[in-house]
Amino acid sequence: MYEAEGRLERYAYRLAATAERIRSPLFWRVLYAALDSRPVTAAIGFYLRIVRRRSGEVAADDRLERLLDVLSRSGWPRHEPGWRNLHANRFLMHAYQRSKGAPRRPGARSAADAPLRTGVVGSLARMLGFSSSFFAAAPDDFRLRFFDLPTRDGTTAGYLAEVGAYDAFDVTPANRSETIGNLTRAVNEADLDLLLVLGETPLYYDIVDGVDARCVAFVASGMNLLYHPAVDFHLNAQREADYFVHDRRMFSGTTGRPLCGDLVFPAWMFYDTRGIEPETRVPVSGRDPLIVFHGSLYKAHSPRWLSAVFTLLQEDDALQFVLMGPDFNRRSLGGPLDGIRRLAAQAGVGERVHYDGAYAPTRGASGAIEDPGWQRLQAHLARARLAPNPFPVGGGSSRVEAYLSGVPVPAMGVRTDAESWGRPQTGSGEIPALRVDAATAFGLDDYVGVARRALYDDAFAEEVVDAQLRVAEQVTSAEAYWRQVRTCYESWASGGAR
């Protein structure tokens, strides 16, 4: 049996490698239709169920993660890592649900008037923007209840008990079934009008399978949806090459039709100001010849993006480049910093590329960010002339922090016109709510041109900064975010509850 399991995985990987060489749109429409079929979904579901019976829950989840890495997260078939293949992701998550038995389908749903008894389930300590002040800003027509899942190191968001009823549920491989049962009972006993789900791993599918809220909404931090029949609508804040929200459905350019029938609202995420005060920013004319990147270094370890930055350094000997952030890869043990330094040396600019360590933007007991690395970062942003957003994987919080600090941020955009459908783009994805048209490029030369102009044209740079601050004012408003949630809920309700 183990040999058969390994052989099936090898077949899947071989099929993926062969298929990615095929350019015909018809082939991909047929393949995606096959992935959406019940027999194929049932076959992979049966495979995962056999692994679970013979090797346990952890082994089955590991096999699922390996398939997701190859078919969904790798950029397969013709994109760079960071681009998600939503058809493959949907297929594998449906197979996961089949492996656990047919997912529960909800009964009739009914909308509620204010106040909305609103539950929030997720690993809340990881959601850096969703602080106690953010939840405290929820208007009176929300009554909050928190169901927290501790991080791997046991960190919880216990401070949310000051805002609403709070419980933590530490799910481990040994107690998974029992603890999920306790969590779903607590959700159901709360008699919720709205449950906001802040996670997309298999664990959240198991949780949603047992809850009985009047309305379930998935708050996406990335491109994926939560493909479960109990989810009533999704809040989506991103788009990527070939996948974007159109007419309240996730649309696929390759197939020329919606990915699925789920209701998806184009939305935006809330971002914490981290205490940055735009009023104190230094005008661009008074700043230093400094380029800053901050965030996880795997995003900066992009040869094409680095080539753009290093082109600017090669053109101007006065420019310096500072990077700050954790030095790790998401899918391997090696750190990207060595690779960045190697590419800098090859470009002849190694002596002007500096790494200033990591930083922790989390708030301490005092409510302030006390990490000295954060203070160093603030000093860099206060005097920087440019903070280019990387591609193909860009930043969110880091980008808003640069906006608030008054630093121009060139960014790579994503096209959604019909001519772009089914084709790779220089930028794999973007956050529409953060777009500033004057600073948005759609190709490598265009990106370098925007960055060059922001460095040396003061009037243009100030125009970009002003537009960025208007964007930042919107996405850092907790009140506006909660109004968005309420508007989406009411739109769902007016369309007829399921």
Domain stops at, among 99, 125, 153: 99
Same domain, 282 and 266: no
Q: Indicate if 88 and 123 belong to the same structural domain.
A: no
Q: Which helix (H) or strand (E) holds 251?
A: strand 249-252
Q: What is the token pair recorded at 436? A: 């500033």
Residues 48 and 192 in one domain: no
- pLDDT over 70 at 15, yes or no: yes
Tens of pLDDT, residue by residue over 268-285, are 999 999 889 999 999 999
Residues 19-30: tens digit of each pLDDT: 888 888 889 999
CATH number at residue 160: 3.40.50.11380
Tokens 């922001």, located at residue: 454
pLDDT of residue 491: 94
Residue 11 identity (one-letter amino acid) = Y
Residue 362 pLDDT > 90: no
CATH code at position 412: 3.40.50.2000
Q: Do 80 and 227 belong to one domain?
A: no
What is the rounded distance in angstroms from the CA atom of residue 293 to the CA atom of residue 300?
8
Residue type, 126: R
Structural domain contains residue 111: no
Domain that holds residue 360: 278-476
Is 20 within a domain? yes
**Residue 437, SS3?**
helix
Residue 105 lies in a domain: no
Output the six-digit token pair for 72: 């969904």
DSSP classification of residue 283: P
Per-residue confidence (pLDDT) for residue 334, from 0 to 100:
63
Q: Which two tokens stand for residue 51?
A: 């692994």
pLDDT band at 330 (very low <50, low <70, confident <90, very high): low
Residue 332 has pLDDT above 70, yes or no: no
Q: Are residues 166 and 252 in the same domain?
A: yes
What confidence category does residue 2 fall into, taking pLDDT thresholds of 50, 70 and 90?
very low
Rounded to 5°, angle at Cα 413 from 410 and 415: 160
Contact between 388 and 456 under an 8 Å Cβ cutoff? The reply is no
Same domain as 306, residue 401: yes
Q: What is the pLDDT of residue 498?
A: 46
**Cα separation, 487 vs 223, whole angstroms:** 21
Classify residue 106: in a domain, yes or no: no
Other C-beta atoms closer than 10 Å to the C-beta of 189 total: 9
Mean pLDDT of 408-424: 94
Q: Contact at 8 Å (CB) between 36 and 91?
A: yes
Residue 350 domain-assigned (yes or no): yes
Same domain, 84 and 163: no
* pLDDT mean over 76-88: 91
Q: Which of 69, 99, 129 is the endpoint of a domain?
A: 99
Interval 441-457 mean pLDDT? 97
Rounded-to-integer distance, Cα 264 and Cα 250, Å:
7
Question: Taking a C-beta distance cutoff of 8 angstroms, is the pair 192, 119 a contact?
Answer: yes
Residues 6+ apart with CB under 8 A from 357: 324, 373, 376
Residues contacting residue 163 through CB under 8 Å, at least 6 positions apart? 132, 135, 136, 144, 146
Please tell me the total count of domains within the chain.
3
Residue 1 or residue 449, greater confidence:
449
Indicate the average pLDDT of the chain: 91
What is the per-residue burial (b if ≥16 Cβ within 10 Å, else e) of 159-176? bbeebbebebbebeeeee
Cα–Cα dist 456/448, whole Å: 12
Q: Which residues, other chains included, contact 226 with Cβ-Cβ below 8 Å and sequence gap of 6+?
A: 197, 200, 204, 205, 208, 218, 220, 234
Asked if the structure places residue 104 within a domain, the reply is no
Asked if residue 49 and residue 144 are part of one domain, the reply reads: no
Phi/psi at 202 (nearest 5 deg)?
A: -55, -30
Dihedral angle computed from the Cα positions of residues 416, 422, 424 and 430, in that order, rounded to the nearest 10 degrees: 30
pLDDT band at residue 1 using 50, 70 and 90 as cut-offs? very low
CA 397 to mean position of chain CA atoms: 11
Rounded percentage of the chain residues whose pLDDT exceeds 70: 94
Beta-sheet strand order (sheet of 249-252) = 257-258, 249-252, 243-246, 239-240, 429-430
When pLDDT is averaged across residues 236-264 and rounded to a whole number, the result is 95
Distances (CA, A) of 165 to 119, 120, 144, 161, 274: 9, 10, 7, 6, 25
Residue 90 pLDDT > 60: yes
**Burial call 232-245: b when 16+ CB within 10 Å, e when fewer:** bbbbbbbbbbbbbb
How many C-beta atoms lie closer than 10 Å to residue 187's C-beta?
Answer: 23
pLDDT at residue number 11: 75
Same domain (yes/no): 265, 290: no
Asked if pLDDT for residue 356 goes beyond 60, the answer is yes
460 shares a domain with 368: yes
pLDDT of residue 496: 46
Q: Which residue has the tokens 């491109």?
A: 223
> What tokens were used for 380?
């860099």
Helical segments of 255-383, H only: 297-300, 303-315, 337-346, 372-383
pLDDT in tens, 120-137: 999 998 887 787 889 999
* Predicted local confidence at residue 371, as pLDDT: 85
Alpha-carbon distance of 148 to 160, in angstroms, equals: 9
Per-residue model confidence as pLDDT tens digits over 36-49 = 899 999 999 999 99
**205-209, 240-244, 358-362, 448-452, range with the lowest pLDDT:** 358-362
Q: What is the rounded distance in angstroms from the CA atom of residue 136 to the CA atom of residue 449?
A: 43
Both 264 and 282 in one domain: the answer is: no
Name the nearest CA neighbour of 118 among 215, 201, 14, 8. 215
86 and 156 together in one domain:
no
> What digits encode the pLDDT tens for the residues 137-177?
999 989 999 999 998 888 888 889 999 999 999 999 899 99
Q: What is the pLDDT of residue 331?
A: 52
Q: How far is residue 348 from each of residues 289, 310, 445, measured CA to CA in Å? A: 18, 9, 20
pLDDT (mean) for 372-389: 96
* Beta partners for residue 264, in sequence order: 234
